[in-house]
Structures are given as structure tokens and as C-alpha cells.
Amino acid sequence: MPESFHGGLRFKTTMPQERMKSIENTKNTKIMKKLLVITLMVFGTVYGAFATGNNVTVIAEKRANHLTDQMIRELRLNNYQANKIREINLDVAAQITEIEQKHEGNEQLITEKCKEVLAVRDLEFEDILSTVQYNDYFGDRKVYSKVDREFMASLNEQGSQNLATNEKATENTTASNVN
């Protein structure tokens, strides 16, 4: 401890300034912890909202990639064609996924709007594929639609299973917290 001079006498003192600094540091640490918690909560909220909005994009990407991979194999696309077809399929999958979510329950309207989107895709494919490839594609459109529907059904089934698993985990966590 530092020494202090008072009236010619030397004695040791406890410095109130050091205690004040210690108290201030403790307060600052508590404030910083609170700010960190608030910041993490904000990031969690923003990320959660982003992830929810991003769900359509993820589904569309999976859908487009699955269909494109099938087309690459069956139509024997070169790299240029594969990239262009993947771009088109991604755009179409995003549109169809949005239509399906927007008009959920109204199958007739979904079918009608999807046919319009698929007709535009057919025209775009005609510019990219060779005549033989396009004829093969055009003849197999129903097969590609079936593959897409089956893939989406499997994704929905996986999503339902994941949701059920998450709900069960939440119930178990809640039950263990109650005990």
C-alpha cells in the first residue's frame, strides 16, 4: 500500500481512489455483460427472422438442384447447358415454391399458375438445348414433374419429422426444467 505524509507522520492508507476504480470496473463489467447479452439477443432475433424468410430460398435451391442433376444425367448436358439449366430451374423453383406457399390449399390455382411458369421455362430451354435434347426433355416433362413432386413430398416428410423431433426435444427440455 502506498504511504501518505500527514503532519510529518508517515502512515499507510487505503486509497479510496483504488476502491472507486475497482467499483467502477465492476460496474463497467456488469454493463458490458448486459450489452453483450442484448447484442446476442438482437443477432438471434435477426438471424431467426432471416432464416425463416430464407426458407423459401433453401427449398427452391434444393428443388432446382435435384431436378437439374436429373436433367444433366438424362439429357447429357455439357457444362454451359448445365449451368444455364440450373439458373433457369432455380428461378422456376423459386417461383413455384412461392406460388405453392401463397396459394396453399387451392390446388386448381396452384396448377394453373405453375403451368404458366413451366411454359416460360420450356421456351427458355428451347434456346439452350439441342433439338434432340429438347425433344427428349419435352417428351419427358411429365416425368420431370413427377420427380419434382416426389422430391418435394420427401422434403415435406423430412420437415415434418424434424418438426416432430424438435417438438419432442422441447417437451423433454421443459419437463427437465420443471423438475
Q: Is residue 174 in some structural domain? A: no
Is this prediction's pTM over 0.85? Answer: no
Q: Is residue 2 in some structural domain? A: no
Q: What is the pLDDT along the chain (179 residues), one digit of tens a residue?
A: 555 555 555 555 555 666 667 667 777 777 777 777 777 766 666 555 455 456 778 889 999 999 999 999 999 999 999 999 999 999 999 999 999 889 989 999 999 999 999 999 999 999 999 999 999 999 999 999 899 989 988 887 876 565 455 555 545 544 444 44
Q: Is residue 6 in some structural domain? A: no
* Amino acid letter, 69: D
Q: Is residue 7 in some structural domain? A: no
Would you say 68 and 83 are in contact if contact means Cβ atoms under 8 Å apart?
A: no
Integer angstrom CA distances of residue 149 from 26, 97, 111, 121, 153: 60, 11, 12, 17, 6
Q: Is residue 177 in some structural domain? A: no
Q: Is residue 179 in some structural domain? A: no
Total domains in the chain come to: 1
Range of the domain at 132: 13-159
Q: Is residue 66 in some structural domain? A: yes
